[in-house]
Amino acid sequence: MSKAEQLIRMAEDELTEYSTDARKIEKLRRKFSFAVPYPEQKAIRDEVAASLPNNFIAKLVEENRQTIALPFWGIGGLGLLLGISGQQPLDLIATGIGFYAAFQVQKWGWELQAKRLVIQTLDAIDASVKNPQPDAA
């Protein structure tokens, strides 16, 4: 596993907690500083930024992954309901397709959100190194 993938997995773990983005970034800053030396962070940031798609659909899924996946969950549930109650096995195919599509949309949005969090955290580390704040004790 490359260092970029490690940072993305750390960010995915942080996404599971309910907190603000600023708190997530603050917690990730410490982890990233231990995992990757500062001179390598710029290269990893560029690598993660290059792997992040910039098209409309990717941005929409990143910001609204649950809303985008909701119709697919509905198709899967309706296919399951009709397949069982009406004894129509072809409707069960809609269940499989709907659940698979919903899961893939959720997964893709989660990965995009984690990559964006990695970029924001590395930018915050870079900004704090270039403009250190005096400690208020």
- Residue pLDDT, tens place only, 51-88: 989 899 999 999 999 999 999 999 998 888 888 777 77
pLDDT of 19-50, one tens digit each?
888 899 999 998 888 888 888 888 999 999 99
pTM confidence score: 0.83
What are the structure tokens assigned to 101, written together? 């599509």
For 94, the 3-state DSSP assignment is: helix
Q: Where exactly are the structural domains of the chain?
A: 3-130
Which DSSP state fits 136?
Answer: -
The whole-angstrom separation of Cα 43 and Cα 117 is 16
How far apart are the C-alpha atoms of 95 and 73, rounded to whole Å? 9
